[in-house]
Amino acid sequence: MDHFEYRDGELFAEDLKLSEIAEKVGTPFYCYSTATLERHFKVFSGAFDGVQSLVCYAVKANSNLAVIKTLAKLGAGADVVSEGELRRALEAGIPAEKIVFSGVGKQPHEMAFALEAGIHQFNVESEPEVRVLSDVAARLGKIAYIAFRVNPDVDAKTHAKISTGKAENKFGVPWQDVSRIYREAAELPGIEIKGVDVHIGSQLTDLEPFGNAFDRVRELVMKLRLEGHDITRVDLGGGLGIPYDGNIPPGPESYATVALNSLGNLGCQLIFEPGRLIVGNAGLLVSKVIYVKQGAERKFVILDAAMNDLIRPAMYEGYHQIDTILEPDGGAELEAVDVVGPVCETGDTFARERDLPPVEPDDLVAFRSAGAYGAVMASTYNTRPLVPEVLVSGDQYAVIRERPSLEALLDLDKMPPWLEEK
């Protein structure tokens, strides 16, 4: 459920007309709803009420400081994958002891920063990584609390580019090697083993792969305990899918049942890293129609937003529902159109043969479910400035990231001395 609804013939974000925000901020822009963010976080964490658990919001999904702070105020922890994300989480008020650090390529300076901050856990993805972490921790006189991310060799049944739990993927250590890897890591200075971590992919709409992965984690925890390791935490990653196209995937309650069935009675702290589920449907990308063009075979609706602003359709064949900001009248005849951006490649297509009500230049449209992996994946391709982000709360809104000027964008480039005008 989200708080973007038609009222009086117009799409609202909570108690504000999106058309009014568009007038003030200009298009395109991302718009997030505080009430929706809060609701999603509460529904997810509520599914684990009474369970020793820590919900670490996956900052990569949407790393705006205001979004993180909204969640921090509800008690969220954070899952981060770079020093930059770690700094964001800390700055937004998430205590270090609620932060886990994931990712296959952590560098020594990032490890050092995280150790100095005193984070909850490193999710270590390889043997070379744990050796470097040990060196860094020993040098700083710190202890790194770790879980190894285990690759359970499970098919998450999601898009290949966001599937991470198969043996062929770059993630985690092979589950078959876990005994040896834990035994060797336990000997390393500066390392204290705490748990087992798994994350098999994103936008999972079927619970079975989760169940398979969690059962594997359970077996590993029992085995590692028999081998003398004090396993007190399991990190189950993120990945629970959201509705994009009207099909409703299983929700947090059913996911919790699967997780607790496998791992509920191990006496471990359960750590979760949801990203998309929290922010995905809490955000829209609002854009304006520039032209409507009849091609030889298709009709094209050309928007002022493009693939550089929202890359999911181009990169993952992602589907985003597109709504007109003015509520279409019941009798309006829909027409199949291609919805495209101004970028100079055919990949810059948001939707093909999508049934839309008639639109004209200057009409506003909203891409739904754009709160996760939208603004964070934007680029300035075609020298298009990053689009601003707006956060709504009730009848208030604030620009939480401004649209940079073209001057600022150009100013990032520097002339080498030999090209300077004499």
To the nearest whole angstrom, how small is the minimum distance from the Cβ of residue 362 to ligand LLP?
29
Closest CA to 400 of 372, 375, 364: 375
To the nearest whole angstrom, how small is the minimum distance from the Cβ of residue 314 to ligand LLP?
11
Q: Does 312 bind ligand LLP (CB under 6 A)?
A: yes
Q: Does 172 bind ligand LLP (CB under 6 A)?
A: no
Instruction: Return the CA Rg of the chain.
Output: 23
Nearer to ligand LLP, 374 or 388 (CB): 374
Task: Report DSSP letters for 11-29, one per residue.
Answer: EEETTEEHHHHHHHH-SSE
To the nearest whole angstrom, how small is the minimum distance from the Cβ of residue 291 to ligand LLP?
28
Q: Does 238 bind ligand LLP (CB under 6 A)?
A: yes
Structural contact between residues 106 and 129, judged by C-beta atoms closer than 8 angstroms: yes
Tokens of 276: 């998309």
Q: Does 194 bind ligand LLP (CB under 6 A)?
A: no
Q: Does 199 bind ligand LLP (CB under 6 A)?
A: yes
What part of residues 246-305 is at the interface with ligand LLP (CB under 6 A)?
Answer: 273-277
| Residue among 152, 172, 190, 237 that touches ligand LLP (CB under 6 A) | 237
Tokens of 221: 């925890």
SS (H, E, C) 280-329: HHHEEEEEEEEEEEECCCCEEEEECCCCCCCCHHHHHCCCCCEEECECCC
Q: Does 65 bind ligand LLP (CB under 6 A)?
A: no
Nearer to ligand LLP, 76 or 325 (CB): 76
Q: Does 162 bind ligand LLP (CB under 6 A)?
A: yes
To the nearest whole angstrom, how small is the minimum distance from the Cβ of residue 128 to ligand LLP?
18
Task: State the Cα–Cα distance between residues 289 and 204, nearest whole angstrom.
Answer: 33
344 noted as active-site residue: yes
For residue 133, report the phi and psi dihedrals to the nearest 5 degrees.
Answer: -60, -40
Nearer to ligand LLP, 2 or 14 (CB): 2
To the nearest whole angstrom, how small is the minimum distance from the Cβ of residue 214 to ligand LLP?
15
Structural contact between residues 324 and 357, judged by C-beta atoms closer than 8 angstroms: yes
Task: State the Cα–Cα distance between residues 235 and 224, nearest whole angstrom.
Answer: 15
Residues with a known catalytic role: 344
Residues near ligand LLP, by CB under 6 A = 58, 60-61, 79, 102, 162, 199, 202-203, 237-239, 273-277, 312, 316, 372-373
